[in-house]
Chain A
Amino acid sequence: MKFKLATLLCGAALATTGVQAQDVKMADTLTLVSWGGAYQKSQIKAYSEPYQAMHPDLKIVWDESSAEAVAKLRAMNEAGNITWDLVDVVAADAIRLCDEGLAMEFDADELLLPATDGTPASEDFGDLLVSDCFIPQIVYSTTFGYRTDMVGDTPPTNICDVFDLEKYPGKRSLEKRPINNMEWALLCDGVAKADVYDVLETEEGQTRALAKLDTIKDQVVWWSAGADTPQLLADGEVVMGSTYNGRLFSVIEEQKQPVAMLWDAQVFDLDGWIIPEGLPAEHQARVEDFVKFATDTQRLADQAKYISYGPARNSSAPLVGQHADLGIDMAPHMPTDPANATNTFLYNYTWWADYRDDLDAKFQAWLAQ
């Protein structure tokens, strides 16, 4: 309580004077955990380099462990030695960490800065604050890319073309987990978008989704790393495949491969920060200061210069400019761009939190058979 009061005061002082309150000394190291690759690079460019410039004495350490963050945080918590200050995770993992008591709960308006026009953070982020522990950064989508030279004169436009082996023969790559695949299967089996999760809740619905996937099962290459599909597309191993839209952007625009996007029924998902529960006061103060900076309107918009993921703040969207190296407009490559978002699907976090264990068991059994 004592400590919370201190941060509250700290926040208040910041809000009124814009000068750091000196009552809690900030740690001089900051350990950030992210995914590595192009995504982490975009964070370094947009967040940590400018922050480093403001605090030259600070030592920032990056750890590429986000894929195992949930398990590692749990192990650290059990050992009573938390060595991470800020961890980048997808929203579903943030919910899990929050449930496990491993991530810190916060008040958005207290921790995060308001938009430049004064809109409080809780409104600026809006619905994207899907958990009490989750600080959203980007909106990304899982969607399909296809080889333009392997689909003939009529490129696919509909998600159900993935299930159409006659029109588009050849292999497809899908992620080796039930999430997204089950939804797409049901959509293409004639279930209305609004009813997907209601149907998937029933035993018959699950059987139906797996039966639909069965129709293409022997033509599927299953991936577990985000880099797989771009590689398979570049090699011509698959005709089409699902992956994160930023990966496809890099295959299309940076590596100039004959690949195009199939935005139809793209599934929106979120990625963001969590602060581990139980940090020492000095680290807590440092992290809160960094997070305030790294999630402000301009910083989130800056990140879109390096990778094609949409900023999580409403107020950042108009500030999205051109790619830092390629010089092309980034807006048309954002999953949230109106032209791309004509038919989108929102991943239902709370539903999957309940059904993930059960459906995963069924999905893996189905895969193994």
Chain B
Amino acid sequence: MTDATHTPSDGPMLTADGIPLKKSLQIALRRQKLRALVLIAPLLLFVLISFIAPIADMLFRSVENDIVSQTVPRTVIALQSWDYDDGKAAAPDNDVFAALYVDLSEAEEFKTHTRLGSRLNYETTGMSSLMRKTGRGIGRMDTDKYTEQFEALDTKWAEPAVWVVLMEQPGIADALPETASAWKSWQRIVANKGDVLAEEQPDAFIYTTLYRDLVKQPATAIAAYTGAEADLLKFADSAVDGFETVSLKDQFIKMDKDWASPQVWGTIKAFSSPYTAGYFLASVDLQLTPAGIEEQPENQKVYMLLFGRTMFMSMVIMGSCILLGYPIAYLLSNLPLRTSNLLLILVLLPFWTSLLVRTSAWKVLLQQQGVINDVLVWLGLVSEGDRLVMINNQFGTIVAMTHILLPFMILPLYSVMKTIPQTYVRAAKSLGATDWTAFWRVYFPQSVPGIGAGSILVFILSIGYYITPELVGGTTGTFISNRIAYHISSSLNWGLAAALGTILLAVVLLLYWVYDRIVGIDNVSLG
């Protein structure tokens, strides 16, 4: 024994090819796992791409809010020094308006200002038309006075080529920071129009920022600039103090007096960060205002009520499905196969009928001039004047949805009951149990997994239901999903819809967890 490692006593056990057994096993297991992974990869990818990713993307919208900081980036930065101060603050100063002027000049070209308006209109009424109006007026402000004054100083200022040379000099951003920043916007505007930069005279907003830079920048900063056209710049710097000025703030307020309102500015500031909790707050009847988080006024609170109602009604629907479905499933599982198959087709039949047809059928049955009321009046049980109101309310929704979701309860119950041997109940009875005891103590516990599976199916389907409550729910039978649908398709407030959906998903997962803790998820069976 020269090689001590081969002895089991003082080293790991080795396989025939000299690799430690433990490692060899690991390799074999890993290979197996990999093979399994490769086998499920197509399905995994499919689910990821077509299911998980879209949902994640939709959920992400509930916090996404980069439209403000992307559309008016300079304004957002300039607003940092402004404080809303509970609405007591005055509108911000000229610097902020100058930033807004450049931002909106670019936004107007790309038509993003109206999108910003629609977004902010969800928070403050009037932002939509404010943006539309400002977009129309932004090209017609009195700022062309600056253009004229620079041109009067030296006609070179009217030449696009001179501008291009000047703005491409290194160090120009130190001398003229605002102009350099605005120039980038101008480049994008020209490119979007398909024009050539060297042929287009800059817009008035460029001259406005140039004027502002020359007035604000210390003379040394201008003097430090030594690139091309330095003399032109220095001459302008010496002359701007005599220029006639245009107050941008007044110009904006002239376009729309709302620009003087601190509420408008407070809203922009409150929603300027790229992520917002605003949608989630709105989903629970709170709101993000310039002054902080507040409760929604009493006459706008609706979401908590709807969440509660959705949960309550889904429970009721689930309960009535159990009550109605259990006896049917029991009957089906105890009949001879030929009869039960025939009956099972009757259970499945509604599945093959359009949802809309089934819902409309309930309208015909339940409405005040409907079949049921007619029969009751004919029987004399109800007088002509007090026909029962059974539709367009909670009752109608529960009836119609119970009917529609019943097969989802019956099928899992049936397949579980099918597996319960008849002999158990017979054995219980032969040992002296009454019918009830035999059922309750022996049969029922074995059917619980079916109830669990059916309940989860029915409950989860019903909290997401929207078309039936919309058609027969009236005002008291509508669900939270109806508001989600409204925000997706009508108001286009996808952020709020996403937040409501996220909350709904979270509630479902929470209930699932509670169910697991109380009943145990192992106790659910589809047969």
Contact = CB atoms under 8 A, between A and B. Distances in A.
Contacts of B118: 96, 99-100
B474 A235 contact: no
Interface stretch (A311-319, A329-337, A354-362): A354-362
Contacts of B195: 1
Interface stretch (A13-21, A66-74, A287-295): A66-74
A40 B368 CA distance: 32
B394 to A, nearest CB: 12
A354 B128 contact: yes
A368 interface: yes
Contact of B129 (A210, A353, A362, A369): A353
Contacts of A70: 489-490, 492
B249 interface: no
B122 A357 contact: yes
B114 interface: yes
A74 B488 CA distance: 10
Contacts of A2: 194
Contact of A368 (B126, B128, B306): B306
B114 A362 contact: no
B299 A362 contact: yes
Given A1-B195, A236-B369, A358-B125, A222 B299 contact: no
Contacts of A364: 302, 483
Interface string B277-313: 0000000000000000000000111100110000000
Interface in A167-214: 171, 207, 210
A52 interface: no
A101 interface: yes
A233 to B, nearest CB: 11
A356 B193 contact: no
B340 interface: no
Given A222-B474, A368-B306, A71 B492 contact: yes
A365 B301 contact: yes
A357 B121 contact: yes
Contacts of A101: 110-112, 114-115
Nearest to A366: B299
A74 B494 CA distance: 11
B470 interface: yes
Contacts, number: 88
Given A222-B392, A236-B369, A355-B125, A96 B194 contact: no
Nearest to A359: B125
A81 interface: no
A24 interface: no
A82 interface: no
B478 interface: yes
B121 A354 contact: yes
B374 to A, nearest CB: 11
A221 B363 CA distance: 13
Contacts of A355: 125
A259 to B, nearest CB: 15
A87 interface: no
B302 A361 contact: yes
A9 interface: no
B125 A361 contact: no
A354 B305 contact: no
Contacts of B110: 101
B112 A360 contact: no
B402 interface: no
B180 to A, nearest CB: 27
A235 B367 CA distance: 9
Given A99-B118, A222-B392, A368-B306, A68 B129 contact: no
Contact of A68 (B127, B128, B369, B489): B489
A70 B474 CA distance: 25
Contacts of A235: 367, 369-370
A346 B128 CA distance: 20
A367 interface: yes
B145 interface: no
A354 B264 CA distance: 13
B368 A354 contact: no
B475 interface: yes
A98 interface: yes
B69 interface: no
A99 B302 contact: no
B364 to A, nearest CB: 8
Contacts of B125: 354-355, 357-358
A213 to B, nearest CB: 12
A237 interface: yes
Nearest to B475: A367
B194 A1 contact: yes
A350 interface: yes
B334 interface: no
Nearest to A1: B194
Residue among A210, A236, A350, A357 with the highest chain B CB neighbour number at 10 A: A357
Nearest to B302: A365
Nearest to A367: B475
A361 B117 contact: no
Contacts of A210: 299
Contacts of A116: none
A140 B302 CA distance: 33
B475 A99 contact: no
B491 interface: yes
Leading 5 A-B pairs by shortest Cβ distance? A1-B194, A99-B114, A365-B302, A101-B111, A71-B489
Given A1-B195, A354-B126, 11 more contacts: A70-B489, A70-B490, A71-B492, A99-B117, A101-B110, A101-B114, A236-B369, A350-B132, A353-B128, A356-B491, A365-B299
11 contacts: A1-B193, A71-B489, A98-B114, A99-B118, A101-B111, A101-B114, A350-B129, A357-B491, A364-B302, A365-B301, A368-B478
